[in-house]
A = this chain, B = another copy of it.
Amino acid sequence: MTDLNRLKQQISFCARGDLWEQVPRFLQDLHPADLAEIIADAPPEAQGPIFEQIDDELKPDVLVELEGAAEENVLRSLSSEEISDFVEDMAPDDAADILGEVEERSQEILELMEEEESGDVRELLQYEEDTAGGIMTTDFVAVRNTITAGEAVEYIASLELDEPFYYAYVVDREDRLVGWVELWDLLKPSNRNKRVVDLVEHDAIPVHVSTDQEEAARVAAKYDLSSLPVLDEENRLVGRITMDDLLDVIQEEASEDLFKFAGSNESELEYDSPLRACRARLPWLLITLATGFLSSVILKHFIAQITTAEVLSLSFFVPIIMAMGGNTGIQSSTLIIRGLAVGTVRNQKILKLLSREIIAGALMGICCGLIIGLWAKLMIDRTVTDAMAFSTFYLSFTVGIALFAAMSFAAVFGALAPILLDRSKADPAVASGPFVTASNDVIALIIYYLVTLLMLAMHG
């Protein structure tokens, strides 16, 4: 890693002085992923020139590894002819991704490509980006179910492929997927004369071109598959999703959930501009602001109800009650959202989970309610000097009850929101976003307000 950092500095130095003749000798021995990292960390104006210095043979691999702003910059520095040359050397799914990035020029580039290569890419471009079809590649190894393992190995070897593969997919006469066998299993001498169909250990798992990419990643993770076959509507094998793309989907989904949580989006990871950060974040902050307006109105009414200094002291606890309500809600939402993402929250368990949240919320509410009550007793004791209409004990009790009510409600609401969103086919992660969090805050304030009014009225 340290070597890579030193190299980055050297290359930045060369880029500043335009001393390109000093670079090439150490660049060509690097892994394309390292070269992509060097380019991504270089100043934007040097990214095109550094890419230029790389061996032509390595360029397609490096281009595949680039993403975000660095990818845009390098592609902008290339002519359509160059891009079409690089893209021809890529796996069809990578080629389709690059063409997706240069939308305006994609037709032109496709026409510059050899027909054989462009056909596959055109086919892939027709699928939605976030479906199994959108991330699959059309390169795969398929064998007919009737041949023997020995024949299969001979056939596969004769293909002289240059993309990694680990499974041979077994198809019937109509190209429908029967299942698959692992390459290493085909090699065993004891299997040589068995028919491949008898070696199939994995049944076909129905992932279709239109299956959501997240669902596809979940299936692959659940069944520990290194690559996932993809079927068309007639259950014919049309492609496979490779591990690197599945990993990207899993990483992407985790980033997405975390950024939704914070009120932003994961594109921020790939771009450096502050304006882009504002564009991603400001809408969510404005939602928080709008809910905040509501809280200021409620607080205004709250304070307007207050006639004596002793009751005014209840307003000291507004921030705590809001924060505790908000946090309790976030904890419940997180459990459900992540559980839905990794597949541990399933239909059968929802009632069980909700009842668990109610109990947990109430237990934590009792505990925190007691503590805040004691604290309130201390705080109010020291404040109040004028004639007392309410005992400090009664006011502290009010604060404790209000916190208990706010937390119990927040635990249930926090769990329910993502479940309802998921049911209505929306993204449950939105439930952890600023909108629901801010709602939780405001609801906690309303509960505090109502409990206080009720308790004060009851006393009178």
Q: Which residues of A contact B (CB under 8 A)?
A: 5, 8, 31, 33, 37, 40-41, 153, 156-158, 160-161, 164-166, 182-184, 187-190, 203, 221-224, 226, 243-244, 247, 250-251, 254-255, 257-259, 261-264, 266, 268-270, 272-275, 277-278, 281-282, 284-286, 288-289, 291-293, 295-297, 299-300, 303, 312-313, 315-320, 322-324, 327-328, 330-331, 333-335, 337-339, 342, 344, 346-349, 352-353, 356-357, 359-360, 363-364, 367-368, 371-372, 375, 379, 383, 432, 434, 438, 441, 445
Are B323 and A303 in contact, CB atoms less than 8 angstroms apart? Answer: no
User: Contacts A257-B258, A348-B41, A441-B323; is A222 near B359 (CB within 8 Å)?
Assistant: no
User: Contacts A166-B226, A269-B344, A272-B352; is A334 near B259 (CB within 8 Å)?
Assistant: yes
Are B331 and A317 in contact, CB atoms less than 8 angstroms apart? Answer: no
Q: Give Cα distance in the complex from A291 to B326, angstroms.
A: 14
Give me 18 A-to-B residue pairs in the complex whose CB atoms sit less than 8 angstroms apart, sorted by A's number.
A5-B348, A31-B223, A157-B189, A224-B243, A224-B247, A226-B226, A250-B251, A262-B327, A263-B327, A278-B360, A286-B368, A288-B324, A289-B371, A292-B317, A299-B316, A300-B313, A300-B383, A323-B438
Residues of B within 8 A of A281 (CB): 328, 331, 360, 364
> Considering only CB atoms, which chain B residue lies closest to A279 in the complex?
B360
Q: Give Cα distance in the complex from A151 to B58, angstroms.
A: 30
> Considering only CB atoms, which chain B residue lies closest to A302 in the complex?
B316
Residues of B within 8 A of A160 (CB): 188-190
> Considering only CB atoms, which chain B residue lies closest to A12 in the complex?
B348
A319 partner, pick from B183, B322, B347, B434, beta carbons under 8 A: B322
Are B338 and A255 in contact, CB atoms less than 8 angstroms apart? Answer: yes
Are B187 and A156 in contact, CB atoms less than 8 angstroms apart? Answer: yes
So how many copies of this chain end up in the complex? 2
Q: Give Cα distance in the complex from A160 to B221, angstroms.
A: 26
Are A317 and B296 in contact, CB atoms less than 8 angstroms apart? Answer: yes
| Chain B: minimal CB distance from A256 (Å) | 10
Q: Give Cα distance in the complex from A194 to B13, angstroms.
A: 41
Nearest first, the 5 A-B pairs at minimum CB distance are: A292-B320, A254-B254, A262-B334, A274-B359, A277-B360
| Chain B: minimal CB distance from A27 (Å) | 15
Residues of B within 8 A of A335 (CB): 262, 264, 268-269, 277
Are B187 and A157 in contact, CB atoms less than 8 angstroms apart? Answer: yes
Residues of B within 8 A of A250 (CB): 247, 250-251, 254
Which residue among A8, A41, A188, A344 has the maximum number of chain B CB atoms within 10 Å of its CB? A344
Are B278 and A363 in contact, CB atoms less than 8 angstroms apart? Answer: yes
Residues of B within 8 A of A320 (CB): 289, 292-293, 295-296
Residues of B within 8 A of A291 (CB): 323
Besides the known contacts A164-B182, A323-B441, 9 further A-B residue pairs in the complex with CB atoms under 8 A apart:
A5-B348, A33-B222, A254-B254, A281-B364, A289-B320, A292-B324, A295-B323, A296-B375, A300-B383
